[in-house]
Amino acid sequence: MEEPRTLTCPGPPWARAGGPPPLRLWEERRAAARVPWPSTLLVALFVLVGTGFAARSQTGTRESLDALGRVLLLVGPALLLLRNRWPGAVVVGTAASTTVYLAAGYPYGPVFLVLVVATFSAVSSGHRRAAWWAVGGFWAAHLVLAHWLYAYLPPRGDTAASWGQDLGTGAWFVAVLATAEVVRARRQEWARAQAERAAAAERRAAEERLRIARELHDVLAHSISVINVQAGVGLALLDDDPEQARTALTTIKAASKEALGEVRQVLAGLRAPGDAPRTPAPGLDRMSELVDQAASAGLDVTVTTEGTSYALPPGTDLAAFRIVQEALTNVVRHSGSRTARVRISYAPGRLALGIDDDGPATGSEAGGSGNGLAGMRERAAALGGTIEAVPLEGGGFAVRADLPVQPRETP
């Protein structure tokens, strides 16, 4: 019989490494390298035009907006072009350029918008400490300029600013920072949800690949084992007993036709996942077919039923059928015994299966993939059941499966 092997689903490499998928990393790097020309140009135009209008109402109280003032106004937007790549440095630079602009005595206006945009970019990209320090340093510098250094800086004859106005400005910047923090938290939640959805989709894809591999293995292994045995019989008897060889070829044709039909059913489910299968999934009601196929391979199978049978859910019925099929396939492949016993025991909420052979093991690979027992364990585990395969005294082998089940209906 086959040695137990464990199939694992490792998942994508990025999940094992604990990081985001490579595509997302590539998108993040591409976004960081992108220069935000359109938004920065709009900010620059708004700052220049808005400050020009604001300067008209501040004539005589602030310095006139000359070439140096316009250059200082454009320093901030120029720095914003780099906010995707270096958000922390940009928020510090815009805070410094805005401080220099105000220290030069130029008019108040939308110059603060540059610092707001830089703050949002820094906080949302995770550079929170740089943003808080930059805004806090700007407000502290503004207090020093407006209350202590105003007499030494342009414009001449300037007076100290109102504390109430400065406190209002500080509250406004705190609101900006708080809003940026909220936006950052929402973006993190969205990114986390996306990562979880991507991981879940990858897990579902991996599980589906395992299910398809298990189904194809169970479909093909049994039929090909029968074909292999009958082909050997046909070759051995081709000259001495042509009629028996003809019978073997007939069995090969029937087994291959059935295998092709079941493979088509599996592949049809892949092409149209939402469509109902054209033929019902196999279940224990087709046990007579397994017995006939095993008989064609030279194996005499005895089936006994214990308890009162009832209709099984499709998933449990299919799993039970495949477990018996794989166990009989293993007997054909790996056992010298030409007899096998199948026991099906019905109990309330449980279904027990037992498949025994008398051995001895032949030690032949017989073309097996080595995944039969692992596939049976996966089917049982998917239903919350258990399965064990143990050697018997005298060289035989026994497979025991215990599956939980809720009857769909009672006869």
In this prediction, residue 15 carries a pLDDT of 45
Are both 384 and 359 inside the same structural domain?
A: yes
Most confident of 3-12, 124-133, 242-251: 124-133
Are both 120 and 155 inside the same structural domain?
A: yes
Q: Is the pLDDT of residue 89 over 80?
A: yes
Domain containing residue 211: 202-404
Are both 192 and 293 inside the same structural domain?
A: no
Are both 256 and 389 inside the same structural domain?
A: yes
* Domain total of the chain: 2
DSSP string across 284-324: GGGHHHHHHHHHHTT-EEEEEEES---BPPHHHHHHHHHHH
Residue 6 lies in a domain: no
With a pLDDT cut of 70, the percent of the chain lying above it is 83
In this prediction, residue 67 carries a pLDDT of 93
Instruction: Among 201, 230, 251, give the residue marking a domain's end.
Output: 201
Bridge-based pairing state of the strands 350-357 and 397-404: antiparallel
Are both 85 and 127 inside the same structural domain?
A: yes
Per residue in 101-128, pLDDT tens? 999 999 998 999 999 999 999 998 889 9
Residue 365 lies in a domain: yes
Instruction: Among 176, 201, 226, give the residue marking a domain's end.
Output: 201
In this prediction, residue 368 carries a pLDDT of 47
Per residue in 332-353, pLDDT tens? 877 888 899 999 999 999 999 9
More confident site: 156 or 27: 156
Are both 22 and 135 inside the same structural domain?
A: yes
DSSP structural state of residue 371: -
Q: Is the pLDDT of residue 188 over 80?
A: yes
Give the closest residue to 44 by CA, choosing from 138, 111, 104.
111
Q: Is the pLDDT of residue 3 over 50?
A: no
Residue 357 lies in a domain: yes
In this prediction, residue 5 carries a pLDDT of 43
CATH code of the domain in which 280 resides: 3.30.565.10
Most confident of 66-80, 154-168, 171-185: 66-80
**Cβ 77 vs Cβ 117: under 8 Å:** no
Per residue in 374-384, pLDDT tens? 778 888 888 88
Are both 331 and 318 inside the same structural domain?
A: yes
**Strands in 116-210 per DSSP E:** none
Angle between helical axes of 372-382 and 163-237 (0-180°, round to 10): 130
